[in-house]
Structure formats: structure tokens, C-alpha cells
Amino acid sequence: MAVSLTGTRVSGVALPWFVLVTTGSATHTGLVAFCEMAPYVLVKAFTGPLVDRSGPRVVSWSTDAVSAVAATAVPVLHAANLLSFWLLLILVAVIGAARGPGDLAKEVMVPEAAERGGMPLERATGLSGMTERLAFTVGPALGGSLAALAGPMTCLLVIAACFALGSVITTLALPRAMGRAGSPPDGESERGYWRRFGEGWNHLRGDRLLLTIVVTVGITNSLNAAFHTVLLPVWAKESGNGPTAIGVSGSVAGIAAVLASLIAAMVAHRMRRRVVFFAGFLVAGAPRYVILAVDAPMWAVLTVFALSGFGSGFLNPILGAVIFERVPRPLLGRVNALGDSLAWAGIPLGGLMGGAAVATFGLVPALLTGGTAFFLTTNLAGLRPEWRQMDQRRAQRKLSATKSVRSEAHDRHR
């Protein structure tokens, strides 16, 4: 996860900056983000049954290999003066289409990793979140530094190397049976694709908490996409701070998020999930937009990004634990694929809307509007009663585990 996600984070800095400095167009920058994320969302949504049937290990290494080839093609074609803007969009779309099922496959293996490691689920999702945040920290710093010193095309070679290394690690280091512990029985494997797809959809639709999570995260993800792919690069260019500011701010937020995820890994199984979850959203969202809009000095920007990163570091560990608790293992690939894709559905549009907003109204109005939308979304969603189930299911699981331990002790005594 660390290796391949680092490649993804480097591309998140290198590709938008490359398009922005070569075309000078915020709209084109948003279009590149759209062409990467739209295939990501669509392909991921429909590969859940494939991951459940073929096994996440196979899907993980094969999609990493495809991403490596597509990422390598960009600098090679650019060096040969054959890289048109439309060809770049096609290659970016291939990378996005491969990243969707690849990321899904890695997520699906987390519960089994927790079982093999003999640790609580919250701790495993905390470590998984810490790994993701660590990649978010290293990736932007590496991408911003390389973009400033060696150019964004050098970043593409680093991206390709990360994807290739991720494929090799998955192939050689993970057990062949990894991810198959929850495989469906033989009778279910004979069912058609659409029937298996429908089973995942019915489970997601029937769980009100999961559905509420998907809608809330979907809106905030689209706002984050506009922020990271358009608003932040435009701010870096207009303020004169350049791509290094993108990398430094992302790294500061990432370091704080890694720290928060580490704390979550240690104590998340003792915390009240709902309180921590919405407190994290409150800190992680709107303040970033406001600090860029008021033209604050760089030290103030970095302070706010650090606080934002710390708040966001608690979100994914909590979400991961809730999802893994509420989804049966044989359905995990299908439900995660649909849930993630719906939650990410607004990301492709986020980049387009961010570019259009900046082109039409300017940077500051776009930032203030985005911050207001983020604040209202998370606070209004928190009023819904489904969120109480975040802690109820965990309490039931702990009660069942306690009863099981007492029963075993009683049997040994008898």
C-alpha cells in the first residue's frame, strides 16, 4: 500500500502542475483530473465481483503493472515529441482505470491482515490509515520537489517505478492464499456476474449507516478534489510560492495525519467513534479554504494544514472499521467497490467545477464557497440518527466477544 499509494500521490502533484505550467489553463488542469478520476470511479464500481471471485492479490499486482506501463509511456512519448494533450488524457485515463481495482484489492485484504496479525480491527485500520497518510506525506513532498528541480516528467518515472515495485512486492511477499479467506463457496461462485453485483448493491442499499456515510463522504471528496487539483495549484501560482508550496503544505498535513492515524491505531478501539469522527471533519475541512482565501503568510498556512491533517487522520481508520464490521467477508469486494465508487463519484466533477469556478468568479470566491459547502455538509449530516450506530455495533461486538471468553472459561472449569 505504501509503495503504490506514494506513486499515486506523486502523480497528484506532477500531472496538474505539468498541465498548468504548459497550458496556463485551470480548465485544462481540471480536465486532466477528470480523465484520471472518472475511469477510476467507473472501473472500481464494476470490479467488486471480480475481486471477490479472482482474489485481491492477483488483481493488486496486475493493475499495478498496468499503471507502471502507462506512467512510463508519458515521459517516453514526451521526450519523442509525440505527447499531445489528448494522448496525455488517454494515458491518464488508463492509469485511473487501473488504480481503481488496485486500490480496492489492497483494502479488501486489510481484515484478513488483522486476523493474521492477531490485532483489533480498529488497530489494523489505523495502521492502514497511517500507511495511506504516510504515502500522502512523502508523495507530495517528493512530487513538489522533483517538479521544481527536475520537472514533472521526471516525476512520472518515479511514479512508474513505484507502481512496478508495488506489483513485485505483492507477487513475491504476500501468500498466494492472501485475500481468499472470505471467498464465496463453490455454489455462489457459479452465479452470474450481475447477480453477484446485485447482492453487493442490495447490502449497501439496505444499510442506512453505510449509505449515509457514502453520501457524506462523496460530497466532501468532490470538494477536496476541487481543492487539491485546481484551487491549491492556482493559489500556489498566483501567490508566487510555486509547486514547492504544494508539496510542503501537503507534507505538513500528511505528517500530522500520520501522527493522528498512529494514535487511532493505538487507542481507536477505546474512543467514541461518532464524536471523534465529526470533530475530525470540523478541523479537516473548511479552515484550509479560509486560510488560502485571506492571503495569509506561509507559516499560518502550514499551521492550518497541520491541524487539518491531524483531524483527517482519524477519519479513515474509523470509517474502515465501521465498514469491515458491517459487511460480510464474501461480499467485501462488491460492497467496498460500490461504496467507494459512489463516494468518489463526485471527484471527477470536483476538478471540473473547481476549474470553472476559478475561471468564472476568481480564486477567492471559489475558496470561500468551497469552505462553506464543506462546513455545512459535515455539520448537517451529523444531525442524522444513523450515526449513533457507529458505536452500537462495536459495543455489540465487544459484548459478544466477552460472552465467548466467559463461555470458554466456564467450559474449561467444568
Residue at 186 is within a domain: no
Model pLDDT, residue 409: 42
Residue at 165 is within a domain: yes
3-state secondary structure of 158: helix
Residue at 183 is within a domain: no
Residue at 244 is within a domain: yes
Measured between alpha carbons, how far is residue 393 from residues 74, 208, 307, 333, 382 in Å?
47, 13, 30, 21, 18
Model pLDDT, residue 410: 46
Span 211-215, average pLDDT: 87
Model pLDDT, residue 191: 64
- Under DSSP, the state recorded for 118 is T
Residue at 116 is within a domain: yes
Model pLDDT, residue 412: 46
Q: The CATH number of the domain where 337 resides is what?
A: 1.20.1250.20
| Domain extent for 170 | 2-178+192-403
Residue at 288 is within a domain: yes
Residue at 303 is within a domain: yes
The answer to which of 58-72, 132-146, 276-290 has the lowest mean pLDDT is 132-146
Model pLDDT, residue 250: 79
User: Under 8 Å CB-to-CB from 405, ≥6 apart: which residues?
Assistant: none
Model pLDDT, residue 406: 44
Model pLDDT, residue 304: 93
- Under DSSP, the state recorded for 41 is H
Q: How many domains does the structure of the chain reveal?
A: 1
Q: What pLDDT band is residue 181 in, cutting at 50, 70 and 90? A: low
Model pLDDT, residue 399: 44
**Count of beta carbons in the 10 Å neighbourhood of residue 368:** 17
pLDDT per residue over 254-305, tens digit each?
A: 888 888 878 877 776 677 778 888 888 888 888 999 999 988 889 999 999 9
Query: Does residue 99 have a pLDDT over 60?
Result: yes
- Average pLDDT of the residues of the chain: 80
Span 187-210, average pLDDT: 78
Residue at 136 is within a domain: yes
- The C-alpha atoms of residue 42 and residue 337 are separated, in whole angstroms, by 10
pLDDT per residue over 366-396, tens digit each?
A: 999 999 999 988 887 777 777 778 776 554 5
pTM of the model: 0.67
Span 238-266, average pLDDT: 82
Measured between alpha carbons, how far is residue 169 from residues 64, 114, 230, 291 in Å?
10, 19, 33, 40
CB 51 within 8 A of CB 339: no
Model pLDDT, residue 180: 63
Q: What pLDDT band is residue 408 in, cutting at 50, 70 and 90? A: very low
What DSSP line would sit under 231-265, residue for residue? IHHHHHHHHT-HHHHHHHHHHHHHHHHHHHHHHHH
- The C-alpha atoms of residue 401 and residue 304 are separated, in whole angstroms, by 41
